[in-house]
Structure 1
């Protein structure tokens, strides 16, 4: 089975898109992440939903989760304000070493290998000129488990 056979349509956002709109897109559609494109409309990053959550949680609470229980302000109260004037680029992890993109003719095992190595919940399927869509970890698992039945 090839990537082009299991690809799904998926929302794409530009690096300069609003962070709040991207977060709302993730939440409303319960997506594991979004494909992010650069100025050339080619994939430049994958923005996992977990990265948006990480952006919302103050660093000192990430370092010491026991402090979360003593805060009186809920994250929901500050999330929109924190994201409002930011772009998607501001949400992206700084250590983006490798882009999770596969070719349409890559096998399901090659797709799984990229996803596992990069610990990414989705990979973009793209040619030099065009994003065909994505393959999510849940779709990959569905196919892998169905093949075993």
Structure 2
């Protein structure tokens, strides 16, 4: 089994996409993350949904989880408003990491190893510089557990 057997169409965003729009896309399509592409459609990185969430959660609540419990429920439910006019660019990690990108001939074990190594719930599949889609953790596990 190869990446091409597991690849599925996957939505993409650009660096200037609003973080709110990215969060909405994650929620509405139950996505584990997003593929960020440049103007030519070439993948720049895979952005796990938790990175978008990290931008919305106040830093003090991330640093000291006990502080999150002292905020009343009415205000706590509104934390995503903190995304405001922020963009996907602001969600990207400061230090470049290994990109979870592979070619369609990668074996399922190679894809799984890439996911594990990069801590990514999805891998972009690229052939000749063109994004074919993605392999999600869910699809990979579902397929290998039925073999």
Q: TM-score, normalised by structure 2?
A: 0.93
Q: 1 CA distance for matches of 2:142 and 2:95?
A: 30
Q: Report the alpha carbon displacement of residue 40 of structure 1 after superposing the two structures with TM.
A: 3.2
Q: 1 CA distance for matches of 2:76 and 2:44?
A: 29
Q: Secondary structure at the match of 1:70?
A: coil
Q: Report the alpha carbon displacement of residue 114 of structure 1 after superposing the two structures with TM.
A: 0.3
* CA distance 1:93–1:75, change in 2 (3 Å): farther
Q: Structure 1: 5+ residue runs without aligned partners? A: none
Aligned residues: 146
Q: Provide, for residues 15-57 of structure 1, a one-character-per-residue CA deviation record: whole Å limited to 9, x for no partner.
A: 1112111110001111100100023321001111111111111
Q: Is the aligned partner of 1:30 residue 2:30?
A: yes
Q: 2 CA distance for matches of 1:7 and 1:146?
A: 17
Q: 2 CA distance for matches of 1:3 and 1:40?
A: 23
Counterpart mapping for 1:64-75 below 5 A: 64-72=64-72, 74-75=75-76
Counterpart mapping for 1:2-81 below 5 A: 2-72=2-72, 74-80=75-81
| Contact residue 56 and residue 75 of structure 1 kept, 8 A | no
Over the aligned positions, Cα root-mean-square deviation in angstroms equals 1.3
Q: Report the alpha carbon displacement of residue 129 of structure 1 after superposing the two structures with TM.
A: 2.3
Q: 1 CA distance for matches of 2:122 and 2:138?
A: 9
Q: Report the alpha carbon displacement of residue 128 of structure 1 after superposing the two structures with TM.
A: 3.0
Q: Report the alpha carbon displacement of residue 86 of structure 1 after superposing the two structures with TM.
A: 1.4
Q: TM-score, normalised by structure 1?
A: 0.91
Q: Secondary structure at the match of 1:125?
A: strand
Q: 2 CA distance for matches of 1:64 and 1:28?
A: 30
Q: Secondary structure at the match of 1:89?
A: helix
In the other structure, the counterpart of 1:110 is 110
